[in-house]
């Protein structure tokens, strides 16, 4: 009698692909995966190269240098303004999304109240409606609220788009926290907010990081929301400002500076991605579960 592991190895040994010599088997794999990796990495590498490499028509006309970046620094309202606007939008969205979804998630996970399921389903229903369908009336509505053409208004709208994922994530994370600790705290006379602050919040930190990461990336990169809701140039975030750069001059476009702008926009996202890759994959999987 053979052990199961021995039998398994034997089966593996006779499976068809094992008949190929090892080198031949791995050559197509390396060619294919190597080509794919080049295709995916090349545009990023090229954009970085093109932003510092001199070309006619760009500010940096020859050799290597940061001419394209210095041009961008003073371009129109100046890179610092656009960068600051983008940071405000992204951080504002993170703060608003976290605050609303933490409180909401706590309510859904731990309390029973009238219309609980209806409110939860309504929050998730935001996902079903195209962004643009809401942006056209929001253009009018923000004016009515007196926050038209403002970073605050755009951050509030961006937070609303984040709410389904964030609320779902917070509810699931909080439901996974064991109730024993809370019950003990309640017996000791702790109020519901004490429980939230001292027991729930520390336990859902990974979920908070995921929600914050996704809200930040979405707000940092959102294009159509500020394009429709922002009318004044000095309130534009990077994505919108750089696109007007593309439209700016007919004929010769300052492509070098455009790619410099792309690098400025992409860099924070890529840094966050490398720092929080695990969170990215994890959050994304819990996002996938909802489907």
Partner 1 sequence: MGVEWSSAPASRSARQGGWWTTRRRSRQLMGLLYVAPTVIFVAVFFIAPLVLVANMSASHWTLLGGNKGLNLPDNYSAIQESSLFWPAVVFTIEYTVLATVMLIGLGLGLALLIQSGGVWKGFLRTAFLLPSAMGLASASLLFYGLYSNQIGPINPILETMRVTTSPIQFLEEPLSALWWTTFLIVWRFAGFYMLILLVGLQAIPRDVYESASIDGANRWDSFRFITIPLLRRSLALSLILCITGSMLAFDQFYILTQGGPDNSTVTIVELIYHYAFQSQNLGTAAALSVVLLGILLILNAIQFLSLRGAEEFR
Find the binder of partner 1 among 87, 91, 95, 103 (CB under 8 A).
103
User: Under the criterion CB under 8 A, does residue 90 sit at the interface with partner 1?
Assistant: no
- Residues binding partner 1: what is the number (CB under 8 A)? 100
The least distance separating partner 1 from the CB of residue 81, rounded to whole angstroms, comes to: 18
Residue 148: φ, ψ to 5°:
-70, 155
Q: Among residues 61, 248, 249, 277, which is the contact residue for partner 1, using CB under 8 A?
A: 277
Task: Tell me which stretch binds partner 1 (CB under 8 A): 77-85, 172-180, 201-209, 245-253.
Answer: 245-253
How far are the Cα atoms of 137, 163, 202 from residue 107, in angstroms, in the given order?
29, 14, 17
Closer Cβ to partner 1, 3 or 113, answer by number: 113
- Shortest distance (Å) from residue 291 CB to partner 1: 4
At closest approach, how far in Å is the CB of 5 from partner 1? Answer: 12
Taking CB under 8 A as the binding criterion, the range among 59-67, 74-82, 156-164, 172-180 that sits at the site for partner 1 is 156-164
- Of 59, 60, 85, 167, the residue at the interface with partner 1 (CB under 8 A) is 167
Residue 127 to residue 120: CA distance in whole angstroms: 12
Per the DSSP assignment, residues forming a β-bridge with 64 are 53
- Using rule CB under 8 A, residue 266 touches partner 1: yes
Q: Which token pair is 176? A: 């996974």
State the minimum distance, in angstroms, from the CB of residue 99 to partner 1. 7
Q: Is 58 in the site for partner 1 (CB under 8 A)?
A: yes
Sorted by sequence, the CB contacts under 8 Å of residue 180 that are 6+ apart come out as: none
Tell me the window of 73-81, 175-183, 204-212, 268-276 that interacts with partner 1 (CB under 8 A). 268-276
Q: Which of 244, 224, 225 is nearest to 234 (CA)?
A: 244
From 77-85, 175-183, 203-211, 247-255, give the range in contact with partner 1 by CB under 8 A.
247-255
Select from 64, 197, 270, 278 the one that contacts partner 1 (CB under 8 A).
270
The distance of closest approach from Cβ of residue 161 to partner 1 in the complex, given in angstroms and rounded to an integer, is 9
Q: How far apart are CB 172 and partner 1 at their closest, in Å?
A: 15
Q: Is 198 in the site for partner 1 (CB under 8 A)?
A: no
Mapping DSSP onto H, E and C, the string for the chain reads CCCHHHHHHHHHHHCHHHHCCHHHHHHHHHHHHHHHHHHHHHHHHHHHHHHHECCCCCCCCCCECCHHHHHHHHCCCCHHHHHHHHHHHHHHHHHHHHHHHHHHHHHHHHCCCCCHHHHHHHHHHHHHCCHHHHHHHHHHHHHHCCCCCCHHHHHHHHHHHHHHHHHHHHHHHHHCCCCHHHHHHHHCCCCHHHHHHHHHHHHCHHHHHHHHHHHHHHHHHCCHHHHHHCCCHHHCCHHHHHHHHHHHCCCCCCHHHHHHHHHHHHHHHHHHHHHCHHHHHHHHHHHHHCC
Q: Among the candidate windows 76-84, 104-112, 173-181, 204-212, which touches partner 1 by CB under 8 A?
A: 104-112
Piece in contact with partner 1 (CB under 8 A), picked from 13-21, 74-82, 177-185, 201-209: 13-21
Residue 207 binding partner 1, by CB under 8 A: no
Q: Is 148 in the site for partner 1 (CB under 8 A)?
A: no
CB of 206 to partner 1, least distance (A): 18
């Amino acid at each position: 009698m053979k052990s199961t592991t021995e039998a398994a190895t034997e089966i593996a040994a006779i499976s068809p692909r094992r008949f190929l010599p090892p080198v031949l088997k791995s050559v197509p794999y390396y060619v294919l995966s190597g080509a794919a990796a080049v295709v995916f990495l090349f545009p990023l590498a090229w954009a970085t190269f093109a932003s510092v490499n001199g070309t006619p028509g760009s500010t940096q006309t020859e050799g290597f240098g940061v001419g394209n970046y210095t041009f961008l620094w003073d371009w129109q309202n100046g890179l610092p303004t656009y960068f600051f606007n983008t940071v405000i939008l992204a951080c504002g969205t993170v703060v608003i999304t976290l605050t609303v979804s933490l409180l909401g998630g706590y309510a859904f996970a731990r309390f029973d109240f009238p219309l609980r399921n209806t409110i939860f389903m309504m929050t998730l229903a935001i996902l079903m409606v195209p962004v643009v369908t809401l942006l056209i009336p929001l253009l009018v509505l923000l004016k009515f609220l007196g926050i038209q053409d403002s970073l605050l208004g755009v951050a509030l709208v961006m937070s609303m788009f984040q709410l389904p994922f964030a609320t779902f994530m917070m509810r699931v994370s909080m439901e996974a926290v064991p109730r024993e600790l809370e019950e003990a705290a309640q017996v000791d006379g702790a109020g519901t907010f004490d429980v939230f602050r001292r027991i729930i919040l520390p336990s859902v930190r990974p979920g908070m990081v995921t929600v914050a990461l996704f809200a930040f990336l979405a707000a940092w990169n959102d294009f159509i929301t500020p394009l429709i809701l922002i009318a004044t140039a000095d309130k534009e975030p990077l994505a919108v400002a750089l696109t007007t750069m593309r439209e700016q001059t007919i004929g010769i476009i300052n492509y070098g500076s455009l790619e410099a702008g792309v690098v400025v926009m992409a860099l924070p996202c890529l840094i966050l991605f490398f720092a929080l890759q695990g969170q990215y994959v994890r959050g994304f999987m819990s996002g996938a579960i909802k489907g």
